[in-house]
Amino acid sequence: MRLLLLISAIALAVSGCAGPGVVPMGRDTYMIAKDGSFSTFGGAAVKAELYQEADAFCGKKGKQLMPVKEASRDSGYGRYANAELQFRCLDANDPEMRRPTMESEPTMKIKVE
């Protein structure tokens, strides 16, 4: 019984690391998100993996990666590090293809009523 629980826990941990892959959000706009593994402590490491995957995705389409928005969170008690990247795949001569000027999502939002 203990062995079955251990195997189930390992399978759940490994399967939880992968995300759904690249998800379309509109015309030429996509999102990708991912959880890190039990040995990944920083959200920046997960985010770097997402940039690589997004660049490869756009490259397969013959286009260039243009980041739109990003967010990441470091691991903590009871949670894995994770990250999200929203991006566009654009032609190299597209007028929107310029130096990205984006800001990261704030890790804390204060709502004033």
In this prediction, residues 80-103 reach a mean pLDDT of 84
Nearest to 64 by CA among 89, 40, 84, 85: 89
Average pLDDT, the chain: 79
Q: Looking at 11-25, 56-70, 71-85, which range is the least confident one? A: 11-25
Contacts within 8 Å (CB) and 24+ apart, 52-60: 53/22, 54/22, 54/30, 54/85, 54/87, 57/22, 57/30, 57/32, 57/89, 58/87, 58/89, 58/90
Report how many domains make up the chain: 1
Q: Is residue 37 part of a domain?
A: yes
Q: Is residue 11 part of a domain?
A: no
Q: Is residue 108 part of a domain?
A: no
- Which range of residues forms the domain containing residue 56? 23-90
Q: Is residue 9 part of a domain?
A: no
Q: Is residue 14 part of a domain?
A: no
Q: Tell me, what CATH number does 41's domain have?
A: 3.30.1490
Instruction: Using CA atoms of 91, 72, 15, 76 in order, give the dihedral in degrees to the nearest 10.
Output: 170
Q: Is residue 101 part of a domain?
A: no
Asked whether the whole model's pTM tops 0.75, one would answer no
- The helix/strand/coil state of 52 is helix
